Chain A
Amino acid sequence: MNRYPVWKYTILVIVLLIGALYTLPNFFGEAPAVQVSSAKSIIKVDAATLDRVQDALKAANLTPDLIALDGNSVRARFTSLDDQLRARDALQRALVPDASDPSYIVALNLQSRTPAWLAKLGAAPMFLGLDLRGGVHFMLQVDMQAALDKKAESYAGDLRTLLRDKSIRYGGIDRNGQTVLIRVRDADTATAVKNLITDQFPDLAVTEAGEGADTRISATIKPEAVRKVQDQALKQNITTLHNRINELGVTEPVIQQQGLDRIVVQLPGVQDTAKAKDILGRTATLEVRMVDESSDARAAERNAGPVPFGSEKYLERSGSPLVVKKQVMLTGENLTDAQPGFDSQTQEPTVNLTLDAKGARIFRDVTRDNVGKRMAIVLFEKGKGEVVTAPVIRSEISGGRVQISGRMTSVEANDTALLLRAGSLAAPMEIIEERTIGPSLGADNIARGFHSVTWGMVAICIFMCIYYALFGVISSVALLVNVLLLVAILSMLQATLTLPGIAAMALALGVAIDSNVLINERIREELRAGVSPQAAINAGYERAWATILDSNVTTLIAGLALLAFGSGPVRGFAVVHCIGILTSMFSAVFFSRGLVNLWYGRKKKLKSVAIGTVWRPEADSTAVAAK
């Protein structure tokens, strides 16, 4: 009765082998490496870059341990820190001739020493959380109200243009919160406006109020469109953050959406937190507006009069005031790229903008109607607007490629381009959570977690071996297998291991031993009742199983609740906790039974089993104890 069929042993062996294979990468540790990635979106890192890196390293007499193209970067691994630094310098010289305008980012990095054959199987070490490796964690909240306000404003602008194009005589158009209000004077116009909105703006819901000369049509963004706007705003902010973080040259940054309106940014290994925060915290948005060319506006700039209705006053970067119209032509949303460059004829420094299709169309119309006038590019940072540049429109610009030139140094062009790029955030963001962990604390935390798990496990194993003899040894082996499988699954999933995760691992092991204690106690009890050893083993496992299942399911319920509602550290805890429960069912029941069967299963005339002393009450003790 205590024999497993061959297929069960086969499953055990296969699971153990796979477990060992995927746990293996965690033992190789990390080696110093140099990572080359692109600094500009136009430059791609490909096989040609790989060749260049190889040539540069060869020229510097350096042989990397391993060099590979990995996603968007080339990584070269070295055996010593010395080589790593020399390689960085060599690559910097070869690939980045002009430090003020780098095409590539050469950064120091750590890379797993996992051999290539393992990496090919997809085996990689566990991903260490920030609390274990040091770095910065930010949670940013995207201001969705602002994104919607902006969207409504741009709808108002679009409507205004369209109504004018269609020669529909409306009384006025205003944005009130996220509603666009259009005043019309008669029912015919009202119908025309309503039809136009339904035709051309499927995302707007129209309602009508009032009558006759006092008819107001209000258009609001439909709920499903609201979700779309929010989604896009979030996506664009994530893209922008990616670009900004690339400028930092961080390796393996994590930028993730969390919930509906939050973004989590994790920058492992970053020590200069002030700079990271500075770059992330630039909550800038960009708007293109026309400069108010009226004489009133000029007077307002000289502080000689009030700012005309429908305009606002902003400061230029030089500090002089400029009156700009409130109507927004374009927002940063339509700007896909901004790069510094030089004019091909005059050799003047320029800033080259690339607009998306919609932006290009609007820009063409705006420039056609306003040749000779000035437009202002206004950057809003934390609610305050500043005019980045206010160039004169020289001619109609179509095609979406815009060049801003004139009276700029190349440094200024560089700065402007950076600001414009940074400005393409769809909605402002605010840091609502921040965690910085120094590298020494990270190393300490790894050591602490490792020691907790190891010593706890050693103590449990010693106790089990003494108390339950051979069955204790088997339980201890099952516990080790549990760790192996847990680590293997975490590595396979590339789940992030944090200190609470390690705590969960320790706790999972402490709880996992429960199953073995249950089984062993049950076997002893059966023996005490005078059952033959083979039958006792069988009954022990069979009867304990129902209890083990019940207790693990209840623990799993708690784990799942933590997973569902937990955030940050609690989630890391919950993931390991849940996986630990599942692996413990496998190792404590299936695996340990396999070992027991292997050891005792074939012995037909088994007289006794090594499960420690089985104390038997005297035959005359209560009927209950003897059963």
Chain B
Amino acid sequence: MEFFRIRRDIPFMRHALWLNAISFLTFAAAVFFLFHRGLHLSVEFTGGTVMEVAYTQPADLESVRKAVSSLGYEDVQVQNFGTARDVIIRLPARKGVSSAQQSDSVLAALKADTSNEATLRRVEFVGPQVGQELATDGLKALAMVVIGIMVYLAFRFEWKFAVSTVLANLHDVVIILGFFAFFQWEFSLAVLAAVLAVLGYSVNESVVIFDRVRETFRRQRKMDTEHVINHAITSTISRTIITHGSTQLMVLSMFFFGGQTLHYFSLALTIGICFGIYSSCFVAASIAMWLGVKREDLVKPLAKKDDASDANAGAQV
């Protein structure tokens, strides 16, 4: 079986301008929604209490809400999740009341309704200062990933590749965040982990393509940059799609079997994978092209002495 029977190099770069314009528009839209709507941050970042309660019969959300607000909580969110019997309650952090008292008093209020017995499945309380820290740590992690990858790529390839890869992948990250802002999906720590994993994973993609660009530069001495990039993308496209398809199979499996915790995690990964393919084929390569990648950048004069078929020959810096 062979899915991809490509006779010629597909002229990806001919449409680079168009594709970049589209990328820029999606990017701008994502940024707009990110600022306009903001992320629906989970309790882990905002601080507060989340309680997950299971009832023996389908729960009446209105009465649950009433029971909780009767304790003097404003801005209480009560939602079903999974089944009608499972209820999730979000309480804002409150000064002077310990988490213990908070969840105990709420549970006591819920248990007062004896017709429908409530059992506690999960409580999560996060103090406001922890939330702050998690947010800053998340940003630090993001910065470190970006810097680490840029340094590695600049060392292994060339700064132009490093810059274009990181730009392309930040574009992915911003678009994932844009989706989360647009649909107001809950942005939790797990989603953050997914976003950072996507960053590492789709850099992967660009690396494969750039690796091929380097190799083609070395082998096809007469081809110009645009054709080299086209050839590199065409010859890796089959691998790109099969790999991502396989990873996506795993992610779908998490999406369907993983339950609530992994729901948004796998959703973030799905968006990341789809845009990862797009951005490494179109965005990263075309940015590298705009930045003016030349044969001389990758094929050092020294490399000529080496066996040209050795893929590692360009590794020396």
A residues engaging B (CB < 8 A)? 131, 139, 141, 273-274, 277-278, 281, 430-438, 440-441, 444-445, 448-449, 451-453, 455-457, 459-460, 463-464, 466-467, 499-500, 503-504, 506-507, 509-511, 513-514, 517-518, 521, 524-525, 539, 542-543, 545-547, 550-562, 564-570, 573-574, 577, 612-615, 617, 621-622, 624-625, 627
B184-215: CB near A (< 8 Å → 1, else 0) gives: 00000110110011011101110110011001
Tally of B interface residues using CB under 8 Å: 90
A440 and B8 in contact, given A500-B193, A566-B137 (Cβ under 8 angstroms)? no
List chain B residues, Cβ under 8 A from A510.
Answer: 246-251
A448 and B262 in contact, given A274-B100, A557-B145, A565-B144 (Cβ under 8 angstroms)? yes
A612 and B2 in contact, given A511-B247, A517-B246, A567-B137 (Cβ under 8 angstroms)? yes
Report the separation of the CA atoms of residues A525 and B121 in the bound assembly, to the nearest whole angstrom: 54
Query: Quick check: which of B16-24, B28-36, B70-78, B125-133 contacts chain A, the rest being far away?
Result: B125-133
A550 and B258 in contact, given A558-B145, A625-B7 (Cβ under 8 angstroms)? no
Contact A503 B190 (CB under 8 A): yes
| CB closest chain-A residue, reference B153 | A554
B231-261: CB near A (< 8 Å → 1, else 0) gives: 1000110110011011111111110111101
Give the residue among A274, A457, A547 with the most B Cβ atoms within 10 A.
Answer: A547
List chain A residues, Cβ under 8 A from B156.
Answer: 550
Report the separation of the CA atoms of residues A521 and B245 in the bound assembly, to the nearest whole angstrom: 14
List chain A residues, Cβ under 8 A from B99.
Answer: 277, 431, 434
Give the residue among B137, B190, B246 with the most A Cβ atoms within 10 A.
Answer: B246
Q: Decide yes or no whether B58 CB sits under 8 A from chain A.
A: no
Contact A621 B249 (CB under 8 A): no
List chain B residues, Cβ under 8 A from A431.
Answer: 98-100, 125, 127
Task: Please give the distance in Å from B146's CB to the nearest CB on chain A.
Answer: 9
| CB closest chain-B residue, reference A509 | B250
Q: Decide yes or no whether B57 CB sits under 8 A from chain A.
A: no
Contact A433 B193 (CB under 8 A): no
B residues engaging A (CB < 8 A)? 1-3, 5-9, 52, 54, 98-100, 103-104, 119-127, 129-130, 133-134, 137-138, 140-142, 144-145, 148-149, 152-153, 156, 189-190, 192-193, 196-197, 199-201, 203-205, 207-208, 211-212, 215, 219-220, 223, 231, 235-236, 238-239, 242-243, 245-254, 256-259, 261-262, 265-266, 269, 309, 311-312, 315
Report the separation of the CA atoms of residues A553 and B149 in the bound assembly, to the nearest whole angstrom: 9
Interface of A is mostly: helix
Task: Please give the distance in Å from B141's CB to the nearest CB on chain A.
Answer: 4
Report the separation of the CA atoms of residues A125 and B196 in the bound assembly, to the nearest whole angstrom: 29
A467 and B1 in contact, given A448-B257, A448-B259, A622-B7 (Cβ under 8 angstroms)? yes
Of B141, B239, B266, which is within 8 A of A562 by CB?
B141
| CB closest chain-B residue, reference A559 | B200
Contact A521 B251 (CB under 8 A): no
Task: Please give the distance in Å from A563's CB to the nearest CB on chain B.
Answer: 9
A139 and B1 in contact, given A500-B190, A507-B269, A521-B238 (Cβ under 8 angstroms)? no
List chain B residues, Cβ under 8 A from A561.
Answer: 141-142, 144-145, 148, 196
Contact B200 A437 (CB under 8 A): no
List chain A residues, Cβ under 8 A from B238.
Answer: 521
List chain B residues, Cβ under 8 A from A513.
Answer: 243, 246-247
Contact B122 A455 (CB under 8 A): no
| CB closest chain-B residue, reference A458 | B253
A622 and B246 in contact, given A499-B262, A507-B269, A614-B2 (Cβ under 8 angstroms)? no
Contact A451 B235 (CB under 8 A): no
| CB closest chain-A residue, reference B4 | A615
Report the separation of the CA atoms of residues A278 and B193 in the bound assembly, to the nearest whole angstrom: 33
Contact B257 A565 (CB under 8 A): no
List chain A residues, Cβ under 8 A from B138.
Answer: 565
List chain A residues, Cβ under 8 A from B253.
Answer: 451-453, 455-456, 459, 506
A434 and B252 in contact, given A466-B1, A521-B238, A559-B200 (Cβ under 8 angstroms)? no
Task: Please give the distance in Å from B228's CB to the nearest CB on chain A.
Answer: 10
Of B193, B197, B204, which is within 8 A of A551 by CB?
B204
Report the separation of the CA atoms of residues A153 and B247 in the bound assembly, to the nearest whole angstrom: 61
Contact A612 B243 (CB under 8 A): no
Contact A514 B246 (CB under 8 A): yes
Report the separation of the CA atoms of residues A141 and B231 in the bound assembly, to the nearest whole angstrom: 57
List chain B residues, Cβ under 8 A from A445.
Answer: 259, 261
List chain B residues, Cβ under 8 A from A557.
Answer: 145, 148-149, 152, 200
List chain B residues, Cβ under 8 A from A564.
Answer: 141, 144
Task: Please give the distance in Å from A428's CB to the nearest CB on chain B.
Answer: 12
| CB closest chain-B residue, reference A551 | B204
Contact A574 B193 (CB under 8 A): yes
List chain B residues, Cβ under 8 A from A274.
Answer: 100, 104
- Can you name 7 extra interface pairs (CB under 8 A) apart from A277-B104, A440-B121, A503-B254? A432-B130, A434-B99, A452-B254, A457-B250, A521-B236, A551-B205, A553-B152
Of A281, A440, A460, A499, which is within 8 A of B250 by CB?
A460
Report the separation of the CA atoms of residues A546 and B50 in the bound assembly, to the nearest whole angstrom: 47
List chain A residues, Cβ under 8 A from B231.
Answer: 624
Of B141, B142, B258, which is within 8 A of A503 by CB?
B258
Report the separation of the CA atoms of residues A392 and B54 in the bound assembly, to the nearest whole angstrom: 55
Report the separation of the CA atoms of residues A453 and B266 in the bound assembly, to the nearest whole angstrom: 13
Task: Please give the distance in Å from B81's CB to the nearest CB on chain A.
Answer: 12
Of B6, B122, B197, which is within 8 A of A435 by CB?
B122
Contact A621 B7 (CB under 8 A): yes
